[in-house]
Structure 1
Amino acid sequence: MRVISSAAFGASHILKGEAPDGPATAEEIAARHSVTRHLARTDPGGCWLIEDETAGPAGAVLSTRREGTWGLSLLAVVPGAQGKGVGKALLARALVHGRACLRGIICGSRHPVAARTYRRAGFTLHPAMRLTGPVDASGLKPPDGAVHEGTVRHRDLMDSLDRRTRGGAHGADHEELLRHHRLFVVDDLAGSGYCYLRGGSVELLAATSRRLAARLLTAALLSVPEGTAARVDRLTAEQDWALDVGIAAGLEITNAGYVCLRGMRPPMPYIPSEDFL
């Protein structure tokens, strides 16, 4: 799976005129393998691999079904197999896995073929932005309330927030996220929310209000280790509260693909996970 992804996304960066990603660390590789195993275990009907008898692996897809919300975690085709219907066949299998779902989410790249493919599949493409760079803590106001370290004990709270924002709980995905991420939680009279962070990257955030979402994101950015670049991806225009926090922290804003939705409006306030959506 990692070989397919590296080959596919490396070629995608070149097509878009972007620098390729640097080599993955041992920790990142282990986390990627763990996520793949988790998705294959929970959704065997949504995870497929295509192999060529002579050339080897040609493409792979990982998709999930969570309480009526379907998500596409990965769709990758190696350069030599692109344009031959491999991606179309894989996506078709993944969509069959979610045929009973009322809602669908894909975090799509800026690759023109991917955008066209998802639109043809009936998804609305919402342009997304990315925040990156070192955090200037002096520009951030302290969180306006308490933010706690989260644990597996907050699973019910997080599932409830998932249902409220995206229409389906992540369920066992939270256990996988907790293996690799730090969890921040807000739960008081004003409402509730949660945010996952690994290194400097925000992976997933959901809250009952923009105010609490901004509090969580502020706390997460303030905890980013010095010398580590922060990264907040997959921000649609509806998440302008996150842009305000990022601007205050001195982060740069760039265009970064699409959040593709079917049967639903952009969740608010919510920052999706690329793997768990």
Structure 2
Amino acid sequence: MLHRLPELRPLTPDEAPAVGELAERVWRAYDIARGRPERPRSTDEQIARRDARLRRAIANDPSSSTGAWDGDALVGIALARRREAFWGLSTLLVHPEHQSAGVGRMLLEAALESGEDAPYGMIVASEDPRATARYRLAGYRLHPCLHAEGTVDPATLPAVPEARAGTGADHEWIHELGRRLRGGGYGPDLDGLGEDRNHLVVVERGDRRGWAFVRDSQVTQLGATDPETGAGVLRAALAATRPDPDEPTTSPPVVVRQLTAEQEWAVDVCLEAGLRLQPKGPLCTRGMDPPVPYLPDGVAF
């Protein structure tokens, strides 16, 4: 039991392994508490990728990467990112033995302070009701979400002849479209997504265009100029999903997340592809409605 409040201080990139170990422990406990199978331990390769991703995130946003320390023990983290007029809370986690003791509130207050002058804010919430309550009390609107998952049969998806593999040359217009959709470009995040085993899928139809990042069996981010083009991008992204190379025989189902009521175009494509819908934690926004058509990444938004 925690008898004193921890010390908050900025995280450094060298502390990425400790951040990763804490995150893995928190999510494992989260699954067990909800009666889900315990997730397997990460392999050395997965840990190396995880730590590289966290090291990059902390280095890119040092002023909004905060750790809570009880002596030498890291017991909580908050990672946020500011991109022009847009602010997002990427991660808020507290060690299971230190929850419901005020640590999460302290970390959230520190994170919110880093984005208090940003006109637009977004948080992709878990199913933890305590976290959801904190975000609402902080002034965020709660938008109920569905996730779609299952096995995709590519034969059920209409062909998208305008689809192609994206390259770094597409980043400039993706930044600009991101500004129109959510109020801010992506800074270094597009390069980070590209390095994290994501591949970029692009659809162009004259002045209508869109993109999606796909990592193994997950569509991790999607944006487009209009819902019809967004639907084409999602079909192409679903067709591009593939088994997890770390677990090719036991890969998880294809997953599409953050389906709010505004994204009916995406819900229809997921149903067309034979995916199942289920409720998940809300998308939380401040100063903005959920962008359309848009499916935010849970970390890079």
Category of TM-score, reference length = shorter chain: over 0.9
The change in CA–CA distance for 1:109 and 1:163 in structure 2 (over 3 A counts) is same
How does the TM-score come out when normalised to structure 1? 0.94
Superposed, 1:83-122 pairs within 5 Å as 83-122=100-139
Q: 1:153 aligns with which of 141, 145, 169?
A: 169
SS class of match (1:225): coil
The change in CA–CA distance for 1:24 and 1:231 in structure 2 (over 3 A counts) is farther
Runs (5+) with no aligned partner, structure 1: none
Q: 2:143 aligns with which of 119, 122, 126?
A: 126
Superposed, 1:1-277 pairs within 5 Å as 1-53=19-71, 56-143=73-160, 145-180=161-196, 181-225=198-242, 228=251, 229-277=253-301
CA distance in 2 between counterparts of 1:25 and 1:200 reads 18
Check the 8 A contact 1:16/1:111 in 2, yes or no. Answer: no
CA distance in 1 between counterparts of 2:28 and 2:270 reads 28
CA distance in 1 between counterparts of 2:268 and 2:136 reads 30
CA distance in 1 between counterparts of 2:49 and 2:173 reads 25
CA distance in 1 between counterparts of 2:156 and 2:192 reads 33
CA-to-aligned-CA distance 1:185-223 (integer Å, 9 cap, x gap): 123314111100010101110000111111111111112
CA-to-aligned-CA distance 1:144-163 (integer Å, 9 cap, x gap): x4112111111111101101
Check the 8 A contact 1:49/1:57 in 2, yes or no. Answer: yes
* 1:45 partner letter: S
CA-to-aligned-CA distance 1:120-179 (integer Å, 9 cap, x gap): 111111111111111022322112x41121111111111011011111101210011111
The change in CA–CA distance for 1:24 and 1:238 in structure 2 (over 3 A counts) is farther
SS class of match (2:118): coil
Runs (5+) with no aligned partner, structure 2: 1-18, 244-248
Moved more, 189-198 or 2-11: 2-11
The change in CA–CA distance for 1:71 and 1:268 in structure 2 (over 3 A counts) is same
* 1:276 partner letter: A
SS class of match (2:237): helix
Structural RMSD (CA): 1.6
Q: How many matched pairs?
A: 275
The change in CA–CA distance for 1:25 and 1:231 in structure 2 (over 3 A counts) is farther
Where has structure 1 moved over 6 Å in runs of 4 or more?
Answer: none
Shift of 1:5: 1.2
The change in CA–CA distance for 1:271 and 1:25 in structure 2 (over 3 A counts) is farther
* 1:247 partner letter: L
Moved more, 112-121 or 27-36: 27-36
